[in-house]
Structure 1
Amino acid sequence: MQMTDIKNVELKSWLQKWVDLTTPDAVVICDGSQKQNDELCNQMVKSGTFIKLNNPPNSYLCRSDPDDVARVEERTYICSEKQEDAGPTNHWRAPADMRAEFDVLFKGCMKGRTLYVIPFSMGPVESPIAKFGVELTDSAYVVVNMSIMTRVSDTIIGKIDAGAPFVKCVHSVGMPLEDAKADLPWPSAPMEKKYITHFPETREIISFGSGYGGNALLGKKCFALRIASVQAHDEGWMAEHMLILKLTNPAGKVKFVGAAFPSACGKTNLAMMEPTIPGWKVETIGDDIAWMKFGEDGQLYAINPEAGFFGVAPGTSMHSNPNAMRTINAGNSIFTNCAITLDGKVWWEDHDDSPSELVDWVRRPWTPACGRKGAHPNARFTSPARQCPVIASEWEDPKGVPISAFLFGGRRKTVVPLVNEAKSWEHGVFMGATMASEMTAAARGGAGQLRFDPFAMLPFCGYHMGDYFKHWLNIGNKPGAKLPKIFYVNWFRRGADGHFMWPGFGDNSRVLEWIFNRCDNAVSAKETAIGLLPDPKTFDLKGLNMPQADIDELFGVDVEGWKAVLPQMEEHFAKFGDRLPAELPKQLNELKKRLG
C-alpha cells in the first residue's frame, strides 16, 4: 500500500504533515505480514541492532543504549487544555507550548531514515470494545515489537477510510542521519530531549527521543491506559491496568476475574498460574490490561486489547512462572537488555540455566563471580500471546468475557489479611483508591510508610484521579448493571521473624477458589470492621501445615495496625482536593467507626 491509496482525508493530511516536518528518506506502510517482519529483523541484524539467537527459535536479542532502559515517568506529560484536568498525579505541559517545542525537535529528525506507518488494532479487529490507532515511527525495532503487541494490518487503513475513529501516535528516536553518517545500534536522544506526551482532548500521543518499551510502543501504556482511560471516562466504559483470568472449577463451571496489582506484586505469575488444588484450571485472557464495556444484558464484558506479552525477564523461571517460560521457549520473541550465552541463548538473573560465562547486556564478559548483573533489572521479552500454553480459547472473542470479580492488592507485609471482600461497590472503590505497598527501609520515607498506587493506575491514569475515582463510583450506579464483586488480596504478609506466612504462587489458587465460591454465595464469610473475611475452617488449607499463629493473622483483623495507617489514607486523599468524591472520605470515616 502507498500513501496515495489512503482515502481518509484526516489520516492523509495528518500523515503528510508529519512527513513534511520530519523529512524521512522513505515512507513504508506496514502490513503486519511475516515477510515484512522478517525483512526488518534481517535489516536490524545487519545494522547491529539485533542478534539472531540459536534458541529460542526465530528470536532476537537487542541491547539498548544504557541511558534508555525503562519508562521515563519524569518526562511523561498529560497535555490537557487545563492543568487542573491532569490532576496531582501527572506531569502537565500546556498543549500549545508542547506542540511549539515539537515543531523544533521533529524538524528533519527522520532525515536519512524510513518513516514507518503502523496501522493497528487494540483488541480483536471486529470487537465492539476494540479501538484503532496509527503510529508513525522511524524505528524498525518499534515496528516488529508492535507487530507482536498489537494487531498490525493494512486492513485497518480500510476501516479508517470507512470512517472508523483512530488515535494518532507519533514517535521518533530523535537522531537524524546526516550525510550518510553511520547509524548506531540503538539511536536515541539525550534525557533532556526525551518526551512522552498525551493530548487527551484530541486523542494524540507524541513521543520523542526514546526507543524503549512503553516510551516507544505507543499502543501499550500510552494508548491502552492513558488515552483509553480518558475515552472510557467520556464514553462510559473502563480501561484498567488489570490481568484477566479464566477460572474453571472441578465441576466445569467457569468465571472470569480481573485483577489490578502494582509492579512487583506477582501479576504475571498470577495470570499464568499453575493451581495446586486438584481439579481447578486457571487460564489467561491477558496479563496486563483490560478494556471493559457493559453488554445489553447488564454484564461487564472484558477484552485484552493487546496481542502479546511485554514481560520483565529477570525473576522469570520454570519455578516462578513455568507458563511464561513455555511461551518464551516457543520462540518468535524479541529480548531486550538480556545477557547472551556463548552458544547463542538468552539469560537473565533467576533463569533456570546456570552458565559459567556469558556476555552481559552492555556487551561485557560476565561470570557469576564478577559481582554484576548479567541482564538489566528491567530486561524484557516480547512474545505472542497466542503461543502461551494456558491462553484461554475465549481470549480473542470479539464480545469479550463476562467479569464476575475484581481483585486489588499490594505488597503488604503487615496489617492486610490474605483476602478481604468489599461490603459494597462503594467500599470496593475505597479499597481500590487506597491500594498501597509498603516501602522498604532503603526507600525515602522509611519502613512502614505506604506508597499508594490507586487501582495500580498511578502512572497510567490520563486525567485527574479524583475524577477517575468518581468514574468508578458512577459505573456502580449504572441502571441494570450486574456488578462484579470486589476483593483485596495480599500474598506478602510476613511474620515477626520475616518469614512469608502464605506460600503464594500456585497456592494462590486456594484464594481464587474462595473468591469463585463467594461470587455464587456458595461459602460463608465473616463480617468484620474491614470487610468480609473467610472462615479458616471452611477455607482450603489442606496440606499446607501452617502454624496456627499464621492462620490467625492471615484471616484476622489487626485493629491497631489498621488504626495506625488511617492518617496515611487521609493524607493520600487530601492530594485530590475538591475533586475527591464525597463517598471516599465517608467510607474512611465509617472504617474508623467500625475499628472503634
Structure 2
Amino acid sequence: TLCCKDDYFICNLRQPEKVIIAHMPDDRMVVSYGSGYGGNSLLGKKCFALRIAGRIAYDEGWMAEHMLIMSVTNPKGVEKFFVAAFPSACGKTNLAMIQPTLPGYTVRCVGDDIAWMRFNKDGQLMAINPENGFFGVAPGTNHQTNPNAMAALQRDCILTNGLEDEVDKDIPITTWLGKPYKIGSKENYPSSHPNSRFTAPAKNCPIMHPKWEDPAGVPISGIIFGGRRPEGVPLVIEAEDWKHGVFLGAQVKSEATAAAEFKGKQIMHDPMAMRPFLGYNFGKYLQHWLDMEKPGRKMPKIFHVNWLWREHPRSGLDDARRVDGEDIAEPTAVGLVPKEGSINTDGLNINWKELFSIPPDYWKGDIHETRRYLEEQVGDDIPPVLRSELDRVEARVDAMK
C-alpha cells in the first residue's frame, strides 16, 4: 500500500518515491498523492485548468493557456484587453495588478495565471479567467512591487512556507532547509522557501475588472510572450503576422525559477510558458496555435518582451498603441521594434540603442540553438509552417552584419 502508520498523506517528504502525480487526458482525470507542491496539490489549477483543459481545448477547438488577462485604458478612454504568458515567477501577477507610472493610463486585472480562450461567432478572440483567486509567489511581493496584491492579502488569505513578522522572536524555528533560524540573527539562512506562496480571493483585489466573471469573456487585442533574458533580447518585439507570432512564442526562453525543477540561473526553453503544463504532443500543440488563424477571424497582434529590463511596463503601453494601429514600429531581422522616441521615456535614464539592439553574433547563435531545440524536442512533429518560419527568420539573421 502507499500509506502506512508513520506516513502522512499531505506531504510525504520522507518517502518521495511514493509521491504520485498522474494525468489521464483521455479520461479527463488527475490523481495526486503525497505532494506538497502547490501545482500538484491544488488540482483545479495547473493539473486540470491547463494540462487536462489543454487537451479538451485541442479536441474542441479552443485554447487553455498559462496567461494573465488584463486591460489597458489610454488617456482617451480607449480600453484594450491583453493576455500575457511568462514562465513562473517572471512577473505575471505583478503585471496583471500593475499601477501605471504614465499619467492617464489605467490597468484592470481579469486574471493573473490562466486564460481559456475561444473565438466567438463574430471572429473575436474572447478570454475568461477560470480561477477565483490568486496563488502568487510571496518573495518579492511587497508594497513597492505590488501594492494591489498586498491589498488583496489583508483578509481571507493563506500564506504557505513563509515566515510572518508577527512570530514571537523567542520561538525556535526550523527553516525549509532543516536549519535553525532565529529572528534578528545576522547568521540566518533564508527563512522562507523561494517558492513560498500567498492565496487570496480575486474579489479582494482593488483593481479587478468589472467583467472578470463575465461568462462571455473579454475581447483580446494582443498576446504577449516573454521571459527574463540577461542579454541580446530587446525590450519588445512585435510579430509580423500570426505565423511569426507563433514562432516567437515557440522560442520563449527565460532564467529558470524556484517554481521550476531547475536551480540556478540557467536559460531554459519554455515555449509559450507552457513547457511544464502541456497535456499532449508539443508539435500538435504548435499546430493547434497555427490552426487558430482562419478567414473572418480578427487575429490579435503578438509581442515578445524581455522582462529583465526594469521599465518593461512601458512596453505594454507600446503594445496597446500598436493594436490601435499607430505607426510606431520599424522592421528588423527578428521582428518589429519601436521606432526611436516612440515610447515615453520621461524620468528614465536609458540608452535606446541598448534597449532595442539586435546583436548579430548573439542572434545567430540564438536562432541556431532554437533550431537544435525544436529538432530535438519536436523533430518530425514540427509543423511545416513553423519550420518554414524558422528557415525564414534564420536566413535573415544569418545575413545580418
Same fold, TM-score > 0.5, yes or no: yes
Q: Secondary structure in 2 aligned to 1:403? A: strand
Counterpart position of 1:469? 286
Conserved 8 A contact 2:9-2:34:
no
1:516 to 320, 328, 351: 320
1:402 to 203, 206, 219: 219
Conserved 8 A contact 1:357-1:368:
no
1:339 to 148, 163, 181: 163
Counterpart position of 1:573? 374
Q: Which has the larger radius of gyration?
A: 1
Q: CA deviation at 1:380?
A: 1.0
Conserved 8 A contact 2:12-2:18:
no
Distance 1:231 1:185, change over 3 A: closer
Distance 1:364 1:510, change over 3 A: closer
What is the one-letter code of the residue matched to 2:352?
Answer: I
Distance 1:560 1:343, change over 3 A: closer
Per-residue CA deviation, residues 295-314 of structure 1 (Å, 9 max, x unaligned), is 11110110111001111111
| Residue 436 (str. 1) matches residue 253 (str. 2) | yes
Per-residue CA deviation, residues 15-66 of structure 1 (Å, 9 max, x unaligned), is xxxxxxxxxxxxxxxxxxxxxxxxxxxxxxxxxxxxxxxxxxxxxxxxxxxx
Alpha-carbon distance between aligned partners in 1 of 2:262 and 2:121, rounded to the nearest angstrom: 49
Conserved 8 A contact 1:404-1:519:
yes
Moved over 4 A (4+): 183-187, 355-364, 443-447
| Residue 240 (str. 1) matches residue 65 (str. 2) | yes
Conserved 8 A contact 1:342-1:357:
no
Counterpart position of 1:224? 49
Q: CA deviation at 1:582?
A: 1.3
Q: What are the ranges of 5 or more consecutive residues in structure 1 without an aligned counterpart? A: 1-103, 106-174, 345-354, 493-501
Alpha-carbon distance between aligned partners in 2 of 1:401 and 1:263, rounded to the nearest angstrom: 24
Describe how 1:38-437 pairs up with structure 2 within 5 A. 105=2, 175=3, 188=12, 190-329=15-154, 331-342=155-166, 359=173, 361=175, 364-437=181-254
Alpha-carbon distance between aligned partners in 1 of 2:9 and 2:370, rounded to the nearest angstrom: 47
Alpha-carbon distance between aligned partners in 2 of 1:555 and 1:213, rounded to the nearest angstrom: 37
Alpha-carbon distance between aligned partners in 2 of 1:226 and 1:306, rounded to the nearest angstrom: 15
Q: CA deviation at 1:446?
A: 9.8
Distance 1:559 1:229, change over 3 A: same
Give the percent of matched residue pairs that are identical in Structure 1 and Structure 2.
48
Counterpart position of 1:586? 388
Distance 1:583 1:445, change over 3 A: farther
What is the one-letter code of the residue matched to 1:577?
Answer: G
Conserved 8 A contact 1:341-1:357:
no
Q: CA deviation at 1:509?
A: 3.5
Distance 1:184 1:366, change over 3 A: farther
What is the one-letter code of the residue matched to 1:379?
Answer: S
What is the one-letter code of the residue matched to 2:108?
Answer: E
Alpha-carbon distance between aligned partners in 2 of 1:444 and 1:357, rounded to the nearest angstrom: 33
Conserved 8 A contact 2:182-2:188:
no
Q: What are the ranges of 5 or more consecutive residues in structure 2 without an aligned counterpart? A: none
Alpha-carbon distance between aligned partners in 2 of 1:383 and 1:241, rounded to the nearest angstrom: 19
What is the one-letter code of the residue matched to 2:354?
Answer: E
Q: How many residues align?
A: 390
What is the one-letter code of the residue matched to 1:337?
Answer: N
Per-residue CA deviation, residues 139-164 of structure 1 (Å, 9 max, x unaligned), is xxxxxxxxxxxxxxxxxxxxxxxxxx
Q: Secondary structure in 1 aligned to 2:26? A: coil
Q: Secondary structure in 1 aligned to 2:134? A: strand
What is the one-letter code of the residue matched to 1:462?
Answer: G
Alpha-carbon distance between aligned partners in 1 of 2:263 and 2:66, rounded to the nearest angstrom: 26
Per-residue CA deviation, residues 442-493 of structure 1 (Å, 9 max, x unaligned), is x99998x7411000000001011111000000012x231111100001131x
Conserved 8 A contact 1:340-1:358:
no
Per-residue CA deviation, residues 415-441 of structure 1 (Å, 9 max, x unaligned), is 11111100110000000000012579x
Larger CA deviation: 430-439 vs 388-397: 430-439
Distance 1:444 1:278, change over 3 A: closer
Distance 1:187 1:542, change over 3 A: closer
Q: Secondary structure in 2 aligned to 1:340? A: coil
